[in-house]
C-alpha cells in the first residue's frame, strides 16, 4: 500500500503511522453535552467501504494527513493535509 503525501509524494505505507478515524478533527465544544462527547470519544461507524482516516507521515515530513481509504480494497482516493481539512 502506498500513500500520496501532499508534501513528499508517493511513499511506502511503512513510513506512516495510523491514528484512527478523522472524526478526531471534529472535536465538540467543551459544553456540547455528555451525548456529543460520548459519541466523539467512543462511537464509530464501521462501514465495509470508504473511511476517512488520520495518518501521520512519521518517517517523512511529519505532516498529519486525512486519507480516504476503502478498507475492503485498500484503494486510496484522496489525501489532504489535516490542516487543510479542518
Partner 1 sequence: MVELIAKSACAGLLPLKIGGLLAAEKDLGVLTAIMPFIGQDKAASDMLKAVHGVTLPEAGRVIGDDDTRIIWFGRGQVLLAGPTPSTDLAQVAALSDQSDAWCCVELSGAGAVDVLARLVPIDLRASAFPKGHTARSMIGHMNGSVSCLGSDRFLMMVFRSMAGTLVHELAEAMETVVART
Residues at the contact surface with partner 1, assessed by CB under 8 A: 7-9, 11-12, 14-15, 57-63
Q: In whole angstroms, how close is the CB of 1 to partner 1 at the nearest point?
A: 12
C-alpha cell at 14: 511503512
Toward partner 1, which CB reaches closer, 6 or 33? 6
DSSP the chain: -EEEETTTEEEEGGG-EEEEEGGGGSPPPTTS-HHHHHHHHH-----SSEEEEEEE-TTTT--EEEEEEETTT--EEEEEEHHHH-
Toward partner 1, which CB reaches closer, 57 or 69? 57
Toward partner 1, which CB reaches closer, 12 or 35? 12
Q: In whole angstroms, how close is the CB of 57 to partner 1 at the nearest point?
A: 8
C-alpha cell at 52: 476517512
Q: In whole angstroms, how close is the CB of 25 to partner 1 at the nearest point?
A: 17
Amino acid at each position: 500500500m502506498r500513500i500520496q503525501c501532499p508534501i513528499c509524494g508517493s511513499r511506502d505505507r511503512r513510513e506512516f503511522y495510523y491514528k484512527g478515524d478523522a472524526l478526531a478533527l471534529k472535536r465538540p465544544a467543551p459544553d456540547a453535552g455528555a451525548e456529543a462527547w460520548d459519541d466523539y470519544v467512543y462511537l464509530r461507524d464501521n462501514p465495509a467501504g470508504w473511511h476517512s482516516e488520520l495518518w501521520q507521515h512519521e518517517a517523512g515530513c511529519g505532516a498529519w494527513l486525512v486519507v480516504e481509504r476503502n478498507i475492503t480494497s485498500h484503494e486510496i482516493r484522496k489525501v489532504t493535509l489535516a490542516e487543510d481539512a479542518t
